[in-house]
Amino acid sequence: DGGITQSPKYLFRKEGQNVTLSCEQNLNHDAMYWYRQDPGQGLRLIYYSQIVNDFQKGDIAEGYSVSREKKESFPLTVTSAQKNPTAFYLCASSSRTGSNYGYTFGSGTRLTVV
Amino acid sequence: AQSVTQPDIHITVSEGASLELRCNYSYGATPYLFWYVQSPGQGLQLLLKYFSGDTLVQGIKGFEAEFKRSQSSFNLRKPSVHWSDAAEYFCAAAPPGGGNKLTFGTGTQLKVEL
């Protein structure tokens, strides 16, 4: 079955460390997105990519980095510059056209700073 | 600025009662509209979407939504709520023809009393 796979489901980071969250999709979708979710704040866009080798900053990109070397993959790195990284991170993908418009989401990664 | 507003942060209903979750949007033109549901610790699942045409949209799990242009609203309804409907619900919108980046509301947490 087609879908989006996020790994790991739970991740623990020490202060000052960089960590990378994985997101892989086999839906042949062009666009991919990373959102951060905090209680009471809904979903906030971190980065998005509409085509391979291109990506744009979202609303809260500071302290994060991404790459899009393959259509299927869009990893997110949470750097030590992100001062409050503890959150639930969601990856999504979408087709650009027609009735497939709308996102398909992964099951999320919960990142905790220890 | 484009925005999506969900005025109710929390709603509690009794099992078997009807449900209406409110969503208002602010866009220059009628956007594409979506409702998603999220169970705790999970990703978001698409319930239904509206692009154009019939203003009453049927979705999965017995949900429906009505688009009202005059009120800039896209409220989600269910005639009889089940305990398994307890979750967080997100309304989202995207500009038609303007790319596929969704703007999400802050969510409504639904509690179902048995």
Nearest to B107 among A42, A103, A105 (CB): A42
Nearest to B90 among A42, A96, A102 (CB): A42
**What pLDDT score does B101 carry?**
78
**What pLDDT score does A1 carry?**
65
Decide which of A72 and B28 is more confident.
Answer: A72
Decide which of A80 and B73 is more confident.
Answer: B73
Taking residues B9-19, report their average pLDDT: 97
Would you place residue B57 in the very low, low, confident or very high pLDDT band (cuts 50, 70, 90)?
A: very high
The percent of residues in chain B predicted with pLDDT above 70, rounded, is 96
- Which residues in chain B touch residue A48, judged by CB atoms under 8 angstroms apart? 101
Q: Report residue A48 as tokens.
A: 């998005």
- Which residues in chain B touch residue A101, judged by CB atoms under 8 angstroms apart? 32, 49, 51, 94, 100
**What pLDDT score does B73 carry?**
97
Q: Which residues of chain A have pLDDT under 50?
A: none
Nearest to B43 among A41, A90, A96 (CB): A90
B84 touches chain A (CB under 8 A): no
**What pLDDT score does B9 carry?**
95
CB contact under 8 A, A90 and B44: yes
**What pLDDT score does B1 carry?**
75
Residue B107 has pLDDT above 80, yes or no: yes
Of A80-94, B77-91, B100-114, the range with the highest mean pLDDT is B77-91
CB contact under 8 A, A103 and B9: no
CB contact under 8 A, A90 and B9: no
Residue B70 has pLDDT above 80, yes or no: yes
**What pLDDT score does A99 carry?**
54
B3 touches chain A (CB under 8 A): no
Residue B113 has pLDDT above 80, yes or no: yes
**What pLDDT score does A22 carry?**
98
Taking residues B7-18, report their average pLDDT: 97
**What pLDDT score does A19 carry?**
95
Q: Smallest CA–CA separation between B107 and chain A, in Å?
A: 6
pLDDT in tens, B43-55: 999 999 998 889 9
CB contact under 8 A, B41 and A110: yes
**What pLDDT score does B100 carry?**
65
Q: Smallest CA–CA separation between A42 and chain B, in Å?
A: 4
DSSP states of chain B: --EEE---SEEEEETTS-EEE--EEE-SSPPEEEEEEE-TTS-EEEEEEE-SS-SEEE-GGG-EEEEEGGGTEEEEEESS--GGG-EEEEEEEE-TTS-S--EE---EEEEEE-
Q: Which helix (H) or strand (E) holds A66?
A: strand A64-66
